Amino acid sequence: MSKKSRSPRAGRKVKLNQKAMNLLQQAHDAFVAKFGREPGPSDPIFFDPDADTPQLLDPDEMQRAMTKAMGEAGIRPEIIFAFQKTGLLLTEENESLASPADRAAFDAAIDEYFALENAAAHSGPAH
């Protein structure tokens, strides 16, 4: 008897804080208010509010909405910066699913964030 292989993502759970849970509930409520039904498994969480049918936001708008939601959920600024640079949101729970190149790009973006912060802290007026 052969054993079925499970997707590495199967059964993964990500713990969300209360702010993140509230944002997801607001997105759900907005979907129901807009379309008059519960979202299905293929419906986007963040949708184009101007569309007549559930559609993903424009990629730039999606990134702005995600960045805003991440800030409101208390995600650390270096993680938000890395998301903005790479389009990735790596956590302890999902980083093993990312390719080595993606992990390296995400880590490099975090290093860049701290380098920029350090440079800004030391670029004050000369005495």
Q: Name the residue ranges covered by the structural domains of the chain.
A: 17-75, 77-121
pTM of the predicted model over 0.85: no
- Amino acid residing at 117: E
Per-residue pLDDT tens digits for 39-95:
998 888 888 888 999 998 888 888 888 899 889 888 899 999 999 999 888 888 788
Contacts of 88 (CB under 8 A, 6+ apart): 82, 98, 102, 105, 106
Query: What is the spatial distance between Cα 100 and Cα 122, in angstroms, rounded to a whole number?
Result: 33
